[in-house]
Structure 1
Amino acid sequence: MSSSSSSHSHFYDAQETVEAGAREQALLAALPRQVAHAQAHTAAFAELFAGIDAAGVSSRAALASLPVTRKSELLARQQAKRQSGHGDPFGGFSAIGWSGLGAQQGVRRVFQSPGTIYEPEGMAPDFWRVARALFAAGMRPGDLLHNSFSYHLTPAGAMMEGGAHALGCSVFPGGVGNTELQLQAIAELRPQGYVGTPSFLRILLEKAAQTGADVSSITKALFSGEAFTPALRDWFAARGVTGYQCYATADLGLIAYETSAREGMVLAEGVIVEIVRPGSGEPLPEGEVGELVVTTLTPDYPLIRFGTGDLSAILPGRCPTGRSNARIKGWLGRADQSAKVRGMFVHASQVAELMRRFPELLRARLVVEGEMAQDRMSLKAEVAQAAEGLSERLAQALRDITKLRCEVELLPPGSLPNDGLLVQDSRSLA
């Protein structure tokens, strides 16, 4: 951690307040090196980026020309490698491994997430870059943190512990369950902070209220893995706990974190974030809701244009705390939208393809209505000025793309909500 970080500092390090243009320049300068590294040291990106000149990937426009890799593809490649007996449990995406994987070495731990997806942890301190989220939540060097994320199979517990150690905190590895023993540890060790899901801390606090266990030492918390609503925030505050949230994944590490401003979540350092139209790789303007796509500059696990499947949007302006990185609204839903209509699946990617063919469309969504087996599908599309015959051309294009008939309704700009929804299933299940 930078020497600028102290108990009296508002920021984890100087990176948090660097001029936005300088940060962008540094990220884009590092991008060609990361693409070249991924091509040279991972079999998956050697294939996905075959024929791409890494040196030319030095702008956001050039980055947007690369394919998006989604978790489903990562899982499919991992499964294919395992089934083939090739022996690479990471599906060719990891630049590190252990002696049994040939020349690759450098893995500290291996984790297994539902799917089954395997993730490597490299040797770097704070591999998942979580320390700054802990700092923003009020944790300080010397604090004891009660870590109730799982240490079993999945990486959440280790992610938080690595960040805590980088910050200079001590950790009690509580994990999940064993409520009575965890309450005893809190009462006797008197940790200042809690790290885990909000639901488990609520269980601990409610149980402590019933049994008389003293958990008053915990006054600050960093939550992840579940929704942390304003109502929950107020519930904890009424019990003396100030809670913040962060957004992280097992693949990418920390993506964004909440600050005392409570206005969205500030992006982590060392990642390049894009908001793209669901079902495509096309970047959307600031403020539009779309899928969050992340490129990490971590050399050990160089995920480039990795689609999270989560919806969010970039907030305008900068954080009132003085942090200069961009902010996102937080988690706004899932991007992998689909519906089955008259025996055929329609996907967000098909609406994205329609919008690619008709750039005059500002927003569009397929709405499926009626009862099951009596489906009606309509396209609702915003357009500033409708050319003659546009509705008919859209209907024909949709039939070509989806193999289904569809009504078309043209709407003025601003008619559809900015929620990232491209496929809306409004059918009655009765």
Structure 2
Amino acid sequence: MSQHFDALETRAPHLREADLMAALPGQVAHAKAHAPALTALLADVNAASVNSRAALAQLPVIRKTELLERQKAARAGGGSVFGGFSALGFGKAMPRVFASPGTIYEPEGTRGDYWRMARALFAAGFRSGELIHNSFSYHFTPAGSMMETGAHALGCTVFPGGTGQTEQQVTAIAELQPAGYIGTPSFLKIILEKAAEQGVALPSVRKALVSGEAFPPSLRDWMTERGVAAYQCYATADVGLIAYETSAREGLVLDEGVIVEIVRPGTGDSVSEGEVGELVVTSLNPDYPLIRFGTGDLSAMLTGPCPTGRTHQRIKGWMGRADQTTKVRGMFVHPAQVAQIAKRFPEVVRARLVVSGEMANDSMTLHVETEHATDALKSHISEAIRDITKLRGEVVWAMPGTLANDGKVIEDARSYQ
């Protein structure tokens, strides 16, 4: 039996990169032609020239907050509920619309495995001809449909368990004997605990694909002890599958249908391999062609290929949120402002703003990595802090490489007691 979903997973890295970069200009051109918001955002961009990561990095990052604002503005003006980002209109080409908190609306197209989840299901051990118990929500958010369409593409039958009704979930699993579970890891734990409490055996559930929340090693081990091999995947309602776990359990392998960058929060600037930053995704989905979509999630690239033979890059997984906007003395301070301060001075390698003290009596300290610490530079940086944030802040020197690699540009260290 093959260990890989298809031949794409084991391509030579340079061939994959060539294929992705070859597809990129067409996707940018398609987005400009069919998604009005991107027509405006990329008005001055020559799509044919966007054929490398360096060229892609010159395009603006569209963050989730901007997507939400544009959708709200369009709806208020009687425009598209999608804010001009969808290339589809209502009708046969769009069988479903979903809603995520905010509210952000997402279209679902008609292509098989629209969200590309079959690859993650295969890596978690699911195979054609199996029954899967799907406990993701089937209303408002697309999680249930994301997994169901992927399972169907894989050749599986799905029981749409949805959320809640734990006792009925246990009964259905006991009677239907599915090969595995799809849903959040916390709900699987609840189901297994309820089954144990009722004295009901669930011998068929030996694998699971979980997502939607953190999946710590302690919970993974708890499930393993009960005979369930659970694997996680990282996906969003905006771009579908981004990365998935394999049997190696060494990070998450990137999906073949997206181009992923890791950038410094508040900017569009790529960070070095291994450095934590915001995960930015360019989707190759023609129906919802998001270009440089900032997920707002933190992660980092891992070095080397997956031990399973999959050759795509890997990420560490979800490592927190990138939007660290903080209110200081009544003023909002944004990660982009910290980046703007740092960019004024070539001597600055990296900067991290720490807000300390107590609410209404707080202070800002900018920790700056540099090898050129001088009083004059400190004075100029302090002036830049006042100029850009309209607030006063101290400057503290740090040697290059000594600030924490956790993706934080703004650290709120205040006491809230």
SS of match in other structure, 1:145: strand
For the residues of structure 2 that align with 1:187 and 1:264, how far apart are their CA atoms?
33
Aligned to 1:173: 160
Aligned to 2:34: 41
Task: Output the amino acid matched with 1:40.
Answer: A
Aligned pair count reads 417
Shift of 1:13: 0.4
Shift of 1:385: 3.2
Aligned to 2:277: 290
For the residues of structure 2 that align with 1:275 and 1:94, how far apart are their CA atoms?
24
For the residues of structure 1 that align with 2:222 and 2:346, how far apart are their CA atoms?
47
| Aligned with 2:361 (options 357, 369, 374) | 374
| Aligned with 2:19 (options 23, 26, 38) | 26
Task: Output the amino acid matched with 1:176.
Answer: T
Task: Output the amino acid matched with 2:363.
Answer: R
CA shift in 2, pair 1:388/1:375, >3 Å: closer
Written as runs of structure 1 = structure 2, the 5 A alignment for 1:322-337 is 322-337=309-324
For the residues of structure 2 that align with 1:324 and 1:223, how far apart are their CA atoms?
23
Shift of 1:388: 5.8
- Contact kept, 8 Å, 1:296 with 1:303, in 2: the verdict is yes
Shift of 1:398: 1.2
Aligned to 2:70: 77
| Aligned with 1:58 (options 38, 51, 57) | 51
Aligned to 1:90: 82
| Aligned with 1:106 (options 72, 80, 93) | 93
Spell out structure 1 runs of 4+ moving beyond 2 A: 384-388
For the residues of structure 2 that align with 1:404 and 1:118, how far apart are their CA atoms?
37
* 1:316-372 deviation digits (Å, cap 9, x = unpaired): 111111110000011111110022212211111111112222233222111111112
* 1:164-192 deviation digits (Å, cap 9, x = unpaired): 01111111000001212211111111001
- Contact kept, 8 Å, 1:186 with 1:214, in 2: the verdict is no
For the residues of structure 1 that align with 2:186 and 2:85, how far apart are their CA atoms?
34
1:398 lines up with 2:385 in the alignment: yes
* 1:142-181 deviation digits (Å, cap 9, x = unpaired): 1111000000111000000011011111110000012122
Percent sequence identity is 65
Task: Output the amino acid matched with 1:314.
Answer: M
For the residues of structure 1 that align with 2:346 and 2:181, how far apart are their CA atoms?
49
Task: Output the amino acid matched with 1:36.
Answer: A
1:234 lines up with 2:221 in the alignment: yes
Aligned to 1:3: none
SS of match in other structure, 1:205: helix
SS of match in other structure, 1:279: coil
* 1:351-406 deviation digits (Å, cap 9, x = unpaired): 11122222332221111111122212111011133356211111111111111111
Which moves more between the two structures, 199-208 or 369-378? 369-378
Aligned to 1:5: none
Task: Output the amino acid matched with 1:11.
Answer: H
For the residues of structure 1 that align with 2:407 and 2:265, how far apart are their CA atoms?
7
SS of match in other structure, 1:353: helix
Aligned to 1:408: 395
SS of match in other structure, 2:95: strand
Q: TM-score, normalised by structure 1?
A: 0.95
1:305 lines up with 2:322 in the alignment: no
Q: Return 5+ residue gaps in structure 2 as ranges.
A: none
Shift of 1:98: 2.0
- Contact kept, 8 Å, 1:222 with 1:245, in 2: the verdict is yes
Task: Output the amino acid matched with 1:20.
Answer: P
SS of match in other structure, 2:195: helix
1:385 lines up with 2:347 in the alignment: no
Which moves more between the two structures, 299-308 or 407-416? 407-416
SS of match in other structure, 1:255: strand
- Contact kept, 8 Å, 1:223 with 1:243, in 2: the verdict is yes
For the residues of structure 2 that align with 1:387 and 1:370, how far apart are their CA atoms?
27
